[in-house]
Each structure stands twice: as C-alpha cells, then as structure tokens.
Amino acid sequence: MTAPVIPSEGWGVLHLFLHVVRDGDVDVASARHSMLRAHDALVADGHQAAWFPVLGHKADLGVMAIGPDLARLQRFQHEVLATGAVRIGWSYVSLTEGSEYTSTADDERRRLEVEEHITDAAEVEARLATWTERMAHYREHRVHPTLPAKASICFYPMSKRRTGDDNWYALDFEARKALMAGHARVGRTYAGRVVQLITGSTGLDDWEWGVTLFADDPLQLKAIVYEMRFDEVSARYAEFGPFITGLLQEPAEALAAVGLA
C-alpha cells in the first residue's frame, strides 16, 4: 500500500473527465461493478466523490474526488481507469484552501462603525462574536468541504492576468484585498442558489485556481459567472480556461446514463 501523502493544510481535489471506451471487448458489467466498488472504498476511507454525466463533447463522465490523502485519490484514479471502460480526456489537480483576503476582526469592527454606525462597545463585541462564528464556519467549509447534493455542476480553471497595467501581482495586498471584497459581495448574493468551491492549483496544474459551482437550477450557474464578469477582478484581471458542465447523480445512475449499465 502506498504511504499517505497528506497536505499540511487543506484536502486534495481531483477532477477526472472521462470518455467511455465503446469497445465490444469491454466487460461492461464487470467494469461497472469495479467502479462502484472503487467509489465505495474511497468513501469508506474518509474521502468523497461526486459523479456526473457531462453535457457536450468534452467528456462523457466526470468525477470529482476530494479528501485528505493524495495517494488515496491517485489509487482511486487508477482503479477507475484499470476497468478499461473509460479513458481520461482531461483532468485537474488542486487543493482546498482558505482565502488570504478573508476579512479580519479589525476589518469587521471598522465596517460596523463606518457602514452601520455602531460604536457602542458592548454591541460591537456582540456583533463580532456572531461574525467570528460565521467566519470560522466559512473557513471550515472552504478547507474541509462537504460536496453538496445539487442537480448540476460546472467546473472551470482560471488564473489572474499578468499583462501590462492589468498585472494582478503588481498590485499591493491592500488593493487586491479591496478588489476581492467587492468580488465576494457579488458571490454572496447567490447564497442558497449556488455553492462555490474555489481550490488552489498554483504549482500543481496549468492554471492557478479551479472553480467548481453547484446548483439545482442550471440557469444560476450561467447567471453568477455572467454577473461576476462585470466585476473588476474578472473584467481586468481574470483569464478563464474551458468550462465543463454536468448533471450530478448517484454513481450507479451516472454510469448507466453514459452507457455503463
């Protein structure tokens, strides 16, 4: 058994985009059984996997696997491919992470004073206690997420632009933090409609972040990306890779939907 490879912070995230091998030599029943067994074993080892038939030509089937041990994720990948029923069309590797631009308690204290005109010390502390609890939950969700049971999923990679005056990395931290705060405000308006999972891939894959969006209404996937395009963070500083959209299903249903029944 391969020794675990566990990041000091965050979990590994593996997106697999697979094409079904439509070959008469493939034992579909055996392959299906092996893939379902691989899924169950991964979950039993404390990891998660979301399966989704893909819309369009980029893949037939997508699997998003997430958990603490990268070696275990690699073994899951090998088990799925070893069935001979699928081959990789594309993949993406990243890690869950907290945001370096998350507001601090001092930021929230200033906001309460400037935006809400709250200066009473007792009220400020009470509001800060509620805020601190909410932020702890937010960070935990980003670093150790639970994949949501939604109907549709969209994944795309992105990087920050480094061209001329539109060089994100030439901005100082406070300027970047202020821009990201505005970007986040747009995202929060989709709470309850879209679940966003942003994972870091600098040094791990071709882009700097992977963005996975989950929604029951596919229109909301389109709406949030469209609205965010007008925010300066995206309009001036973002580069986007390919988008892949699928329909989240239980593993057995997803396999049947792509002909592995």
The 10s digit of each residue's pLDDT in 238-248 is 999 999 999 99
What integer pLDDT is reported at residue 41 of this predicted model? 98
What integer pLDDT is reported at residue 62 of this predicted model? 98
Task: State the CATH architecture for 12-97.
Answer: 2-Layer Sandwich (3.30)
Helix axes 28-44, 70-81, angle to 10 degrees: 170
Which of residues 60 and 119 earns the better pLDDT score? 60
Tell whether the model's pLDDT for residue 138 goes beyond 90.
no
- Both structure tokens of 198: 């942003």
Distance CA 76, CA 74 (A): 5
Residue of 92, 101, 156, 237 marked active site: 156
> How does pLDDT run across 190-227, given as a tens digit for each residue?
999 999 999 999 999 999 999 999 999 999 999 999 99
Tell whether the model's pLDDT for residue 84 goes beyond 80.
yes
Task: Indicate the average pLDDT of the chain.
Answer: 94
What integer pLDDT is reported at residue 70 of this predicted model? 98
What percent of the chain is modeled with pLDDT above 70? 100
What integer pLDDT is reported at residue 35 of this predicted model? 98
Please report the DSSP string for the chain in residue order.
Answer: -PPP---SSS-EEEEEEEEE---TTS-HHHHHHHHHHHHHHHHHTT-EEEEEEBSSSS-SEEEEEEES-HHHHHHHHHHHHTTSSEEEEEEEEEEE---TTPPPHHHHHHHHHHTS----HHHHHHHHHHHHHHHHHHHHHHHS------SEEEEEEEEE-EETTEEGGGS-HHHHHHHHHHHHHHHHTTTTT-EEEEEE-TTTSSSSEEEEEEESSHHHHHHHHHHHHTSHHHHHHEEE---EEEE-B-HHHHHHHTT--
Tell whether the model's pLDDT for residue 169 goes beyond 90.
yes
139 pLDDT band, cuts 50/70/90, is confident
What integer pLDDT is reported at residue 60 of this predicted model? 98
Which of residues 84 and 120 earns the better pLDDT score? 84
226 is catalytic: no
> How does pLDDT run across 88-135, given as a tens digit for each residue?
999 999 999 998 888 787 888 887 888 888 888 888 888 888 878 887
13: phi then psi, degrees, rounded to nearest 5: -130, 125
Global pTM? 0.91
247: phi then psi, degrees, rounded to nearest 5: -115, 110
